[in-house]
């Protein structure tokens, strides 16, 4: 790409948003809506304070580091915040020797709603020095558009604000020329200073809490309880989780960053109250601040959650008489995440990008606003839109489908408060869209889905309130066991999503990690619906209700549920070093990894539920966290009709029970089609494996579509049509060179394969690049002169194999079927990472 030299200049202005009072400067809109004057907070606890009242002095650098906004195949914006009115500069360095740097200058805009309130300045938080979490009082927003971008381009940039400079990169979407794309999705970060010390409740299934051989969790008064505390859930003692919220989010983001995603989706509830400024300070500390700068190079696509209308200590949701806390909270969110580009609704600029579209290579992502529906509903007042009913959602009909997702305020009270907060505004300026049929958002969503389908895009949708859930918000307000913040009303979109081939819907709110398969019309095609609300806050189980005997049991309103971490991943506790330790299972913090791969027949989509497993020492101090994957990985090929119905997972082998160290590896082999086991339903983990069986496992995993020449036998002892003929032909193929057999020309398929032979087969098949074996062996019985030394050294360096406690590897010992599964499973995790 060749560019002409440009002098430093002001960014290009975006125009055409006449409904907004202030001019649009590179996508930045002043807080004040059409015809309004400076915002006035009418709630006493929500009054912004002046700079002189802050307990922290203002700095001349960044308050929030640069983060990427409105990414596409050909554009991207940078947004950052400072505490002074000084303009910042951006130097963009384009690739290529003939491409000169470009310098951009920002136009700072004061954000009066982002100042601290009297309540925030006076707040005391247990475990923290008073006011130590506060920053400077003033917030100035900077936003620039990076020009001259094209698909698949990575440019370096350096932003200077005052005395500080931050450098990073931005990459545009790949356009039509793409191979792979990775998206990470999560929800309910709910950041706040108190999260630095708070350990949340850790619910456990009352019906599937433990594996068969597990010990019970530590109890009341235990060392665990003394260190982390406990809560009471459904009248029962419940442990608190070992990671505080601050550590949980940092560890979660560490593993997300290692996965090198192209995009991040955050489906609402970003801070612990949109009207609570310290919560926003904490949020950006993780993504564009003191703890990390991932958002400086990986775009954040966010949705509005219920906490985005909650002001925390500044008045909560407000009252019917004064709903201003909700208005101020929502408009604080707009200050950070306003969309005004091509993805927003140009006909309804008053919503300021509350719902918007992002196109990034092969994927179209619709971010919807599930905050409010009509008619309003409220379980507290009995204002409901349908008759009360009981049971699961098989009783849910169009007539009794709820219409609202929150009963904390009405459209009327919010509208009146908006006009009070922004004097001079009118009803048409109100920034709260409704989501029901007949609304602007509904019409816009259908138009975007129709266009995306016409373009054969993979379509993902995100909004906060999970429409399909067995969690605490899973039942509608007109249910026998009602919820006043239920996402059930968002099921109104299900027919539209099915008609236009949506592949997956990402939500949060219930904080329990759940996947549902939705195929309402029964045609075998539908979409996967996720609650990914396990970023860093609560760790909730299923909604429980008392039966006739007064015993709590799962309510399970959502009959579309396929998997939940809380109900389908029982815990395994063991005693180690004299204390109880969790070995595996249970509900943990994590995220959903969405991998798209370009294949001949369309796009292969893999949905991987990842959890962050804490490793503790004998005093329950955190040693580190490990990236693990739940047993619900889903892969499908999508086309214009959406996702195909997932094939049912095979039943576990009868001799592979949860709790075994081989359970996950063998289960992975089974679900990936690497093995079907024996006719009696067993896998036989302890049985030794033959050379023919071992290369069959490798071929099914690494080259499942391989076809052998049916007329050519490579080895005399493996004739055409012999068992494992195709895998052995693959292994001997010149393109793979997994094996050449023995010196007498035979392969000996029925002979047991040894520990050294198997890792050598895998090493040759994997073909690792740039591996150099160390000069000294890690195992006493594997000299560097061994034929298998390089392969064993590679496998050890990748963590695929371990030696014995005496320091030996025992290369000539036969390897059993369980050990083979473990090596292959670990290799798959390594390559996935």
pLDDT (tens digit per residue) in 703-762: 888 887 777 788 998 888 788 888 898 988 877 688 888 989 999 988 999 999 999 999
What pLDDT is attached to residue 707? 82
**pLDDT at residue 360 above 70?**
yes
**pLDDT at residue 372 above 90?**
yes
Burial of 573 (0-12, 13-18, 19+ CB in 10 A): buried
CB 694 within 8 A of CB 700: no
Between CA 203 and CA 540 the distance in angstroms is: 5
What pLDDT is attached to residue 58? 54
For the ranges 56-70, 603-617, 756-770, the maximum mean pLDDT occurs at 603-617
489-518 b/e with 16+ CB inside 10 Å = b?
A: bbbbbbebbbebbbbbbbbbbbbbbbbbbb
High-pLDDT (> 90) share of the chain, %? 74
**pLDDT at residue 66 above 80?**
yes
Mean pLDDT lowest among 345-359, 391-405, 698-712: 698-712
- In degrees rounded to 5, what are phi and psi of residue 717? -95, 10
Residue 175 DSSP class: T
CB 12 within 8 A of CB 26: yes
Q: Which of 706, 781, 756, 713 is nearest to 736 (CA)?
A: 706
pLDDT tens sequence across 501-542: 999 999 999 999 999 999 998 888 899 999 999 999 999 999
Beta strand extents in 300-423 (DSSP E only)? 300-302, 356-360, 363-367
3-state DSSP percent of the chain in helix, strand and coil, to 5: 25, 25, 55
Please enumerate in sequence order all residues whose Cβ is within 8 A of that of 298, keeping only pairs 6 or more positions apart, or say none: 68, 261, 262, 263, 264
- Average pLDDT score over residue span 652-664: 85
**pLDDT at residue 27 above 50?**
no
Q: Which of 164, 142, 135, 143 is nearest to 51 (CA)?
A: 135
Please enumerate in sequence order all residues whose Cβ is within 8 A of that of 80, keeping only pairs 6 or more positions apart, or say none: 62, 64, 65, 66, 67, 88, 142, 159, 161, 166, 288
- Average pLDDT score over residue span 137-156: 96
**pLDDT at residue 271 above 70?**
yes
Binned at pLDDT 50, 70 and 90, residue 11 comes out as very low
CB 362 within 8 A of CB 457: yes
Please tell me the pTM assigned to this model: 0.78
Q: Which of 144, 243, 238, 260 is nearest to 195 (CA)?
A: 243
**pLDDT at residue 112 above 70?**
yes
**pLDDT at residue 451 above 90?**
yes
- Average pLDDT score over residue span 213-219: 95
Q: Which of 371, 442, 449, 815 is nearest to 640 (CA)?
A: 449
Orientation of helix 755-766 relative to helix 789-797, angle to 10°: 80
CB 469 within 8 A of CB 514: yes
pLDDT tens sequence across 162-195: 999 999 999 999 999 999 999 999 999 999 999 9
What pLDDT is attached to residue 1? 30
List C-alpha distances in Å: 352 to 268, 345, 383, 616.
16, 8, 30, 45
What pLDDT is attached to residue 674? 92
What 3 state SS string does 670-725 have?
HHCCCCCCCCCCCCCCCCECEHHHHHHHHHHHHCCCCCCCCCCCCCCCCCCCCCCH
Placement of tokens 């954040």 in the chain: 300
- Average pLDDT score over residue span 473-479: 97
What pLDDT is attached to residue 640? 67
CB 162 within 8 A of CB 60: yes
pLDDT tens sequence across 774-813: 888 989 899 999 989 999 999 898 888 888 878 899 999 9
Task: List the structure tokens of 451.
Answer: 């266009």
Between CA 291 and CA 425 the distance in angstroms is: 39
What pLDDT is attached to residue 832? 64
Average pLDDT, the chain: 90
Q: What's the chain's Rg over C-alpha atoms? A: 29
High-pLDDT (> 70) share of the chain, %? 92
What pLDDT is attached to residue 215? 96
What pLDDT is attached to residue 33? 47
159-176 b/e with 16+ CB inside 10 Å = b?
A: bbbeeeebebebbbbbbe
Q: Which of 529, 537, 533 is nearest to 511 (CA)?
A: 533
- Average pLDDT score over residue span 416-436: 97
Beta-bridge partners for 616: 622
Please enumerate in sequence order all residues whose Cβ is within 8 A of that of 806, keeping only pairs 6 or more positions apart, or say none: none
- Average pLDDT score over residue span 253-265: 97
What pLDDT is attached to residue 39? 65
- Reported as type and span, the H/E element at residue 417 is helix 411-421
Placement of tokens 């008064």 in the chain: 221
Residue 408 DSSP class: S
What pLDDT is attached to residue 82? 98
Burial of 216 (0-12, 13-18, 19+ CB in 10 A): exposed
**pLDDT at residue 28 above 80?**
no
Between CA 32 and CA 39 the distance in angstroms is: 6
């Amino acid at each position: 790409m060749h560019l002409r030299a440009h002098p430093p200049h002001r960014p290009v202005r975006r125009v055409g948003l006449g409904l907004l009072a202030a001019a649009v400067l590179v996508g930045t809109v002043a807080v004040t809506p059409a015809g309004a004057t400076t915002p006035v907070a009418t709630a006493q606890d929500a009054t912004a304070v002046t700079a002189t009242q802050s307990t922290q002095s203002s700095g001349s650098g960044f308050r929030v580091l640069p983060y990427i906004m409105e990414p596409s195949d050909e554009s991207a914006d940078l947004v950052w915040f400072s505490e002074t009115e000084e303009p910042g500069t951006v130097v963009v360095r384009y690739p290529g020797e003939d491409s000169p740097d470009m310098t951009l200058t920002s136009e700072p805009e004061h954000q009066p709603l982002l100042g601290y309130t009297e309540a925030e300045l006076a707040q005391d938080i247990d475990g923290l020095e008073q006011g130590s979490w506060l920053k400077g009082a003033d917030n100035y927003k900077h936003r620039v558009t990076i020009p001259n971008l094209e698909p698949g381009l990575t440019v370096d940039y350096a932003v200077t604000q005052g005395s500080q400079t931050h450098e990073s990169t931005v990459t545009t979407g790949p356009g039509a020329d793409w191979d792979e794309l990775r998206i990470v999705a999560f929800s309910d970060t709910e950041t706040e200073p108190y999260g630095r010390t708070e350990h949340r409740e850790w619910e456990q299934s009352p019906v599937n809490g433990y594996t068969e051989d597990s010990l019970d969790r530590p109890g009341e008064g235990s060392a665990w309880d003394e260190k982390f505390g406990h809560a009471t859930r459904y009248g029962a003692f419940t442990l608190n989780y070992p990671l505080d919220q601050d550590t949980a989010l940092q560890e979660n983001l560490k593993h997300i960053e290692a996965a090198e995603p192209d995009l991040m989706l955050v489906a609402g509830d970003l801070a612990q109250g949109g009207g609570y400024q310290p919560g926003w300070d904490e949020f950006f500390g993780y993504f564009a601040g003191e703890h990390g700068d991932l958002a400086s190079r990986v775009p954040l696509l966010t949705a509005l959650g219920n906490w985005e209308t909650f002001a925390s200590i500044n008045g909560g949701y407000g009252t019917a008489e004064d709903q201003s806390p909700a208005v101020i909270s929502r408009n604080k969110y707009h200050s950070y995440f306003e969309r005004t580009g091509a993805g927003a609704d140009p006909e309804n600029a008053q919503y300021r990008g509350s719902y918007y579209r992002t196109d990034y290579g092969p994927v179209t992502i619709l971010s919807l606003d599930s905050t409010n529906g009509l008619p309003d509903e409220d379980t507290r007042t009995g204002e409901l839109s349908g008759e009360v009913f009981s049971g699961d959602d098989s009783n849910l009909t169009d007539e009794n489908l709820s219409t609202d997702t929150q009963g904390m305020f009405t459209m009327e009270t919010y509208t009146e408060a908006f006009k009070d907060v922004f004097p001079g505004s009118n009803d048409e300026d109100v920034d709260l869209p409704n989501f029901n049929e007949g609304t602007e958002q509904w019409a816009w969503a259908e138009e975007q889905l129709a266009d995306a389908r016409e373009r054969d895009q993979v379509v993902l949708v995100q909004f906060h309130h999970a429409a399909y859930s067995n969690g605490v918000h899973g039942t509608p307000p007109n249910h026998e066991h009602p919820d006043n913040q239920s996402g059930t009303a968002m099921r109104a979109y299900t027919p539209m999503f099915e008609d236009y081939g949506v592949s997956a819907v990402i939500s949060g709110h219930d904080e329990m990690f759940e996947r549902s398969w939705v195929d309402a019309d029964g045609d075998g095609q539908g979409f996967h619906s996720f609650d990914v609300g396990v970023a860093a806050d609560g760790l909730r189980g299923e909604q429980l209700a008392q039966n006739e005997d007064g015993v709590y049991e799962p309510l399970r309103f959502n009959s579309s549920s396929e998997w939940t971490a809380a109900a389908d991943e029982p815990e395994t506790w063991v005693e180690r070093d004299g204390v109880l330790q969790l070995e595996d299972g249970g509900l943990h913090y994590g995220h959903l990894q969405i991998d798209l791969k370009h294949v001949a027949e369309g796009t292969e989509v893999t949905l991987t539920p990842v959890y962050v497993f804490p490793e503790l020492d004998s005093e329950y101090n955190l040693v580190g966290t490990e990236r693990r994957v739940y047993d619900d990985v889903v892969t499908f090929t999508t086309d214009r009709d959406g996702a195909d119905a997932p094939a049912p997972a095979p039943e576990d082998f009868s001799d592979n029970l949860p709790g075994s160290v081989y359970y996950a590896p063998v289960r992975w082999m089974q679900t990936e089609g690497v093995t079907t086991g024996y006719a009696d339903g067993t896998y036989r983990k302890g049985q030794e494996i033959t050379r023919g069986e071992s290369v069959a496992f490798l071929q099914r995993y690494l080259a499942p579509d391989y076809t052998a020449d049916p007329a050519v036998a490579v080895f005399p002892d493996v004739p055409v049509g012999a068992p494992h003929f195709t895998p052995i032909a693959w292994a001997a193929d010149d393109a793979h060179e997994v094996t050449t057999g023995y010196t007498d020309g035979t392969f000996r398929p029925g002979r047991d394969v040894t520990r050294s032979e198997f890792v050598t087969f895998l090493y040759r098949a994997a073909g690792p690049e740039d591996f150099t074996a160390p000069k000294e062996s890690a195992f006493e019985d594997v000299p560097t002169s061994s034929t298998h030394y390089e392969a064993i050294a590679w496998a050890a360096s990748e963590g695929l194999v371990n030696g014995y406690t005496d320091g030996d590897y025992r290369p000539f010992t036969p390897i059993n079927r369980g050990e083979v599964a473990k090596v292959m499973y670990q290799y798959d995790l390594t390559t996935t990472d």
